[in-house]
Structure 1
Amino acid sequence: MTNSLPPDPQPSRRDPLGFDEFIGIFLAFSVIGGILFWSLGREGQGFNLGGLLDPTPSPSATPTATPTISPSPDEGALPPSPTPNQPVPTTVPAPEPAQPNVVPVPFAVRAPATPTPSPTPTTAEPEGFSDVEANYWAYPFITALVQRDIISGFPDGTFRPDAPVTRAEYASMLQKAFDKPAKQQAVSYKDVAADFWATDAIQEVSRNGFLAGYPKNIFQPTQQIPRVQALVALASGLELPRSTAPTQVLQTYQDAAQIPKYATGAVASATQAGLAVSHPRPNVLEPNEKATRADAAAFIYQALVASGKAEKISSQYLTQP
């Protein structure tokens, strides 16, 4: 047996690709291509094939200017174009719905932008009294005496026209309204202390004959004065002439029988002189009812008129004998 060299190897021939190998290669390239396209598309910049071929990176993307569109009168305005420092919006807001053209109506009244202050009333309440309106029956009498500083209101801004008047309060009103000389000596009343707020007024109206006290030197300053006493005090202090026909004058009142006998002459004189004012019925005196602050104002003002110190006031509540 002889040793012999093996024959030269023959070059191997590669069999052509089979169908399965072709499918595998196609799938591999498809997966790689899909991954590549997905990674480029997730940046939101689109698929720029030119950028893939040009390896030089672009320094910065210059935003494309959005052309300015002037809105027509019937269209809403488009949003402003983005500046280089602002990101480009991915969506453009829809324009607002067009507003209808409004034709102005001639002489149309428009609400003011700010509230207009209420005008100041032409007829003000006397001294701002909240409880005395301009249509109150004694308004003109109260107003006139307030202006003369004969009467005043209370700290809460009220006048309290229907409140009764005490003898001390009435004495204070008479002192301010009339300046008459003393006709008699001063009386030291047992129930009026020296430091009482109305002591001086009580002393003065007692000396000049407006108000007198009761027996045993009693004045009763806190007693509510009746209407008949208020009229008698004025008739006495002003020394009104006595009526020549008192009975006939008093027949004006439907309740004349209720007038005390001591007061008939003075009430007749006061009525004839125009001092009597009675609300709501001028022919009903109600002599024994308490005089209110409004009653006192009306009586005193009419006494000023009778003395020639005030102008007449027209009132439907003046008693006409």
Structure 2
Amino acid sequence: MTNRPPSEPESSQRTALGFDEFIAILVAFTTIGAILFWSLSRRNSSWNFNGLLSPSSTPSGSAYPDKVLPSPTPKVESNTVPKFDSPPPEAVEPKRPSLPTNRATPSPELLPPVEVTPTQSPQPQTPVSSSVGLESSITSSALPLVTPAKQKSIIPPPIAFNDVPNNFWGRRFIDVLSSRGILKGFPDYSFRPNQPVNRAEFAAILEKAFDQQLSKSAIAFQDVPPKFWANPAINQAITSGFLKGYPKNTFKPQENISRVQVLVALASGLNLKTPTSPNQILSIYKDAKDIPPYARSKIAAATTNGLVVNYPSPQILAPNKVATRGELAAMIHQALVKQGKLKGISSENIVRAPNISPEVSPTPKRNPKVNLSAGGSSQ
């Protein structure tokens, strides 16, 4: 028995792949291919399809009319449109337009970039239209508030007094002065237009109506206490020339003031010029004889400047009658009109001075001519 080298193993029997091994390799290659395909598809998902929509590209939209192209990210509108977390409740999603099959491709010069927005998805367009409409509505509604058409008046409305009816003869005079704080009512919302006015109350009204400089040196009247409520107003009325005291250094603050005293005070404080013919002006009053001699020139000046207001008849002055709050309001109003601080109002109770013709001096008589032929001589 001879020694033979060991026979080589049969490679075909040991290296051949079995059925299970072939299936495993096939599954492995299939898995690797699927992973590669999935990674490539994920990487290419962000490709830009704007080239498909450009005018120079092939008319792919006409070839596939039923296919909607993916919407590109808007670049122009994203910078100007505010972002909303959710669309407004009133926003309605529009229908998605479809591409026409036989639409000709326009030239680049005639088609601006914004013309491609109809092919986009409606989601970015919904907040665009609603937000723009919201901004325009807010802007248009805010304009009248920022730039009003008319400037509001700084004068408050007059006080509605419960005892001054609309047909009261001095209602308009009272309304003007009450709206400016010159005249005030009482705590019960009454004005009491027929109530008399004393000298202290008249001095307080003069202080509010006329801007006069207050004198530093106070006048100490014997009948006016130092802590009297109208002491500053009385001092101002005296120093500004509206009022005067009585003999023995008295003022009589509780004394009711008459109509003639009111007109004399106003004419004196305003420095009205005395007319040349006071008696002719005063002739319009039927009771001119009742005017005191000291007041005739002042009453004539007040009449010429429109300060006199008579009710019920303009021709009845009633100079010695106690002045009421309603009459005082009318006269103070006319004095402020004279100063140019208020506008005049039309009233049939305002006395209009007559037109006075200038006085003409009489022409001196000439001596008659003497006939010398009759033997006379000239003087």
TM-score above 0.5, yes or no: yes
Which residue is equivalent to 2:309? 277
Which residue is equivalent to 2:233? 201
Does 2:210 align with 1:178?
yes
Identical-residue share of aligned pairs (%)? 49
CA RMSD, Structure 1 to Structure 2 (Å): 1.5
Tell me the secondary structure at the aligned position of residue 196 of structure 1.
Answer: coil
Which residue is equivalent to 2:250? 218
Distance 1:182 1:169 in 2: 17
Distance 1:291 1:189 in 2: 24
Distance 2:218 2:351 in 1: 35
Deviation per CA, 1:250-278, whole angstroms, max 9, x where unpaired?
00100000000000010100010000000
Matches within 5 A, 1:140-289: 140-181=172-213, 186-289=218-321
Tell me the secondary structure at the aligned position of residue 343 of structure 2.
Answer: coil
Distance 2:293 2:214 in 1: 27
Distance 2:295 2:220 in 1: 25
2:214/2:235 contact within 8 Å kept: no
2:194/2:325 contact within 8 Å kept: yes
Which residue is equivalent to 2:163? 131
**Shift, 1:234, TM fit:** 0.2
Task: Pick closer, same or farther for the CA change 1:243–1:182 going to 2, 3 Å.
Answer: farther
Which residue is equivalent to 2:54? none
**Shift, 1:292, TM fit:** 0.1
1:126/1:132 contact within 8 Å kept: no
Distance 1:154 1:182 in 2: 27
1:192/1:199 contact within 8 Å kept: yes
**Shift, 1:176, TM fit:** 0.5
Task: Pick closer, same or farther for the CA change 1:184–1:240 going to 2, 3 Å.
Answer: farther
**Shift, 1:180, TM fit:** 2.4
**Shift, 1:185, TM fit:** 5.9
2:260/2:291 contact within 8 Å kept: yes
User: Greater RCO between the two (CA within 8 Å, min separation 6)?
Assistant: 1
Task: Pick closer, same or farther for the CA change 1:257–1:306 going to 2, 3 Å.
Answer: same
Tell me the secondary structure at the aligned position of residue 173 of structure 2.
Answer: helix
Does 2:348 align with 1:319?
no
**Shift, 1:195, TM fit:** 1.1
Count of aligned pairs: 197
Task: Pick closer, same or farther for the CA change 1:174–1:271 going to 2, 3 Å.
Answer: same
Q: 2:334 aligns with which of 282, 302, 307?
A: 302
Structure 1: give runs of 5+ residues left out of the alignment.
1-124
TM-score, scaled to structure 1:
0.60
**Shift, 1:244, TM fit:** 1.3
Task: Pick closer, same or farther for the CA change 1:183–1:196 going to 2, 3 Å.
Answer: closer
Task: Pick closer, same or farther for the CA change 1:184–1:284 going to 2, 3 Å.
Answer: farther
**Shift, 1:188, TM fit:** 1.2
Amino acid at match of 1:227: R
Tell me the secondary structure at the aligned position of residue 127 of structure 1.
Answer: coil
Distance 1:189 1:228 in 2: 23
Distance 1:287 1:175 in 2: 24
Matches within 5 A, 1:61-140: 126-140=158-172
Distance 2:293 2:158 in 1: 38
TM-score, scaled to structure 2:
0.51
Distance 2:242 2:218 in 1: 13
Tell me the secondary structure at the aligned position of residue 165 of structure 2.
Answer: coil
Amino acid at match of 2:248: K
Deviation per CA, 1:21-75, whole angstroms, max 9, x where unpaired?
xxxxxxxxxxxxxxxxxxxxxxxxxxxxxxxxxxxxxxxxxxxxxxxxxxxxxxx
Distance 1:220 1:134 in 2: 35
**Shift, 1:228, TM fit:** 0.1
